A and B are shown apart, each in its own frame.
Chain A
Amino acid sequence: MHTYILRRILLMFPTLLGAVTLIFLLMRLLPGDVALYMLGSSESSEVNVAALQQIRQELGLDKPLIVQYGSWLWSAALLDFGNSYWTRQPVVEELKRRYPMTANLAVLSLALGTLIAIPIGVLSAVRQDTLIDYAARVFVIAGLSIPNFWLSILLILGLVHYFNWLPPLDYAPFWVDPWLNLKQLIFPALITGYRLSAVGARMTRSSLLEVLRDDFVRTARAKGLREQIVIFRHALRNALLPVITIIGVELLVLFGGLVVVETVFTIPGIGRFLVDAILHRDYPSIQALVFVFAVFVVGVNLLVDLTYAILDPRIRYT
């Protein structure tokens, strides 16, 4: 088990390196040029060559690719992601200021998503092929189909119209003012949580249906246990493993969703930062953000695999 954990942790590094390298190469090798963009043009013939050279030199873009890559990697290893091309401020400071909101939103979405997913999945499986099951399945597929930005717009319009609610202007940490914090983040978290809950409910349903056909469930019923106990104590516990997995996998989509939802709800988090950085071709910020996302995804995947190993005694890695 220990060797397994150690190997998994060591194997994280090549993947992370791959992710930052991919983004680095995409931004350097594809035709878009940040220096041209900063001069407000897309044609190199239109601008002053000297000005172009100067910007490239200032940003260090005139150096050979391998030197740029090496120096970026070296500072990133020391957690220094350079200065933003746009604000000229250190990217790390911006990250530190913005990450609490996104982390808060992500945790809230995850909690809401799971809380909605499991009851719906269980109900759908227990009442298979009834009206409830069909309704639950439509709820699930709608969750996968309705674009989150549209749902956000409708929600905001409804809240503004009926409740005089306004999108939050500032952010209060949960431990400072829980009520204000919830008021600000509950609606965006509901939107991103809906998708999670859809995926989770679908997996709960199919996993529970599979488990309900197992021998031990028949045994539990045969010895006269009440149906609730059979389902919640025996079946559901064994059915939850794939649900954990799928929620871990969906985290990637959750991050994608946060990018959009933060934009609509004007939440100054990491997702919005990424949209701005991409629109401004702010290489250092984009690289830093992709790195942070990748660390989270790889870390969560590791956690999921370890949870798996701990929860399922049949899985033993040596």
Chain B
Amino acid sequence: MRLTGTNVDVLQRPLPQVRLHPELWRQVIRFILRKPLGAVGGLLLLIFMVVAVFAPLLATHDPDLNNYRARISAPSAQHWFGTDDFGRDIYSRVIHGTRLSMYVGVFSTLLGTAIGALAGLVSGFWGGRVDQVIQRCADVMFTIPGLVLAMVIVTMLGPSMLNVILAIAIPRLPNANRVIRATVLAVKESPYVEAARAIGCSAGRIMWRHLLPNVMAPYIVVATASLGSAILVEASLSFLGLGVPPPAPSWGRMLSLEGMRYFETAPWMAIFPGLFISGAVFGANLFGDALRDILDPKLRGR
């Protein structure tokens, strides 16, 4: 057994390779029938994506427009979710915030898990010293909480959209790395890889043509599970004042403690942004769980 993170073996058991069949629709319908909770999660996620894309059409007000005559007004026909201490329309801010959260969440997840997975692929395939170096780096990253690492990176790089994405992506590297490595280790020994080796395929070709397609299923599972936590970290960074800088409306910043003195008299200021964060992450987690059950036959039917 190896250093820290060895005891995560349960989490990192290689997910068996399942090919994603081309008959997508039938698959989708089967998924909905077999995993109703997962389907609800997928639907939620889809709705948030649609809201993110069409935010300017769905918003009823300019999210940054101050309106001092309507400061801290309760939800009404005019302002569906009420207004904040600057008289800004909370509904429109939350809708525009969806765009930011989804953007940061999706891109940091893709960046972090893709690089981590690639490192895992190389690590598992090559083994030996390369594997040792990469895995010791992963051990080190497993000792620092993701949020703390992200906070340090964003503080040092300065607050901007790109830096926040980087800061959220980097702590995601080791997890994807471990899962993909474990799968590669299992697949590497299979007869078809041996055959490919025997007819003299290059290492690059084996990784690209034989290993990569087989790690896609676990990769999708890791990436979906990672999306929820990426959205959460983005919200937490914004909440602590380290997120994407204003004027971009962000869910986390709407909840920052400066608003605390208003929250008691104007609870809608606290309730709606939090509901949106929870909803998006809930959707991603439900969907991710169901995907894992489907793509991991070991847990099938549980």
In terms of DSSP, what is the predominant structure of the interface of chain B? Answer: helix
Against B, the Cβ 8 Å flags (1 = close, 0 = not) of A38-74 are 0000100000000000000000000000000000000
- B8 engages A245 (CB within 8 Å): yes
Counted as pairs of residues, one from A and one from B, with CB atoms less than 8 Å apart, the total is 178
Is A123 close to B, CB under 8 A? no
Is A298 close to B, CB under 8 A? yes
A287 CA / B158 CA spacing, docked (Å): 19
Is A240 close to B, CB under 8 A? no
- A252 engages B142 (CB within 8 Å): yes
* Chain B interface, number of residues (Cβ within 8 angstroms): 60
- B277 engages A150 (CB within 8 Å): yes
A259 CA / B233 CA spacing, docked (Å): 12
Closest Cβ–Cβ distance, residue A217 to chain B (whole Å): 16
A209 CA / B293 CA spacing, docked (Å): 14
Known contacts A149-B255, A154-B274, A279-B155; A260/B236 CB under 8 A: yes
Closest B residue, CB atoms, query A315: B1
Against A, the Cβ 8 Å flags (1 = close, 0 = not) of B251-287 are 0100101001001100100110110011001101110
Q: Which residues of A24-39 have CB atoms within 8 Å of chain B's CB atoms?
A: 26-27, 30-32
Residues of A within 8 A of B273 (CB): 150
Residues of B within 8 A of A154 (CB): 270-271, 274
Is B235 close to A, CB under 8 A? yes
- A147 engages B278 (CB within 8 Å): yes
* Chain A interface, number of residues (Cβ within 8 angstroms): 65
Closest Cβ–Cβ distance, residue B8 to chain A (whole Å): 5
- A157 engages B270 (CB within 8 Å): yes
Is A142 close to B, CB under 8 A? yes
Known contacts A161-B264, A294-B143, A317-B1; A149/B7 CB under 8 A: no
- B235 engages A18 (CB within 8 Å): no
Residues of B within 8 A of A313 (CB): none
A203 CA / B289 CA spacing, docked (Å): 13
Residues of A within 8 A of B11 (CB): 246, 249
Q: Which of A86-94, A97-105, A171-179, A301-309 contacts B (4 or more CB under 8 A)?
A: A301-309
Q: Which of A9-17, A180-188, A228-236 contacts B (4 or more CB under 8 A)?
A: A9-17
Which one of A128, A141, A249, A259 has the greatest number of beta carbons of chain B within 10 Å?
A141
Closest A residue, CB atoms, query B270: A153
Is B30 close to A, CB under 8 A? no
- A141 engages B255 (CB within 8 Å): no
Is A126 close to B, CB under 8 A? no
A263 CA / B271 CA spacing, docked (Å): 19
- B4 engages A298 (CB within 8 Å): yes
- B8 engages A149 (CB within 8 Å): no
- B274 engages A256 (CB within 8 Å): no
Residues of A within 8 A of B228 (CB): 144-145
- B278 engages A142 (CB within 8 Å): yes
- B145 engages A255 (CB within 8 Å): yes
- A141 engages B142 (CB within 8 Å): no
A56 CA / B252 CA spacing, docked (Å): 35
Binding site for A on B (CB under 8 A): 1-11, 37, 136-137, 139-148, 151-153, 155-158, 228, 232, 235-236, 239-242, 252, 255, 257, 260, 263-264, 267, 270-271, 273-274, 277-278, 281-282, 284-286, 289, 299, 302
Binding site for B on A (CB under 8 A): 8, 11-12, 14-16, 18-19, 22-23, 26-27, 30-32, 42, 128, 134, 137-138, 141-142, 144-147, 149-150, 153-154, 157, 160-161, 203, 206, 209, 242, 245-246, 248-249, 252-253, 255-256, 259-260, 263-264, 274-275, 278-279, 281, 286, 290, 293-294, 297-298, 301, 304-305, 308, 317
Closest 10 A/B residue pairs (Cβ): A18-B140, A150-B274, A30-B156, A256-B145, A32-B156, A145-B281, A256-B147, A145-B282, A294-B143, A301-B4
26 A-B pairs in the complex with CB atoms less than 8 angstroms apart: A11-B2, A11-B3, A12-B3, A14-B3, A15-B4, A15-B140, A18-B136, A18-B139, A141-B285, A144-B285, A145-B232, A146-B278, A150-B273, A150-B274, A154-B270, A157-B270, A161-B264, A245-B7, A253-B145, A259-B145, A260-B236, A274-B148, A275-B240, A279-B241, A298-B4, A305-B1
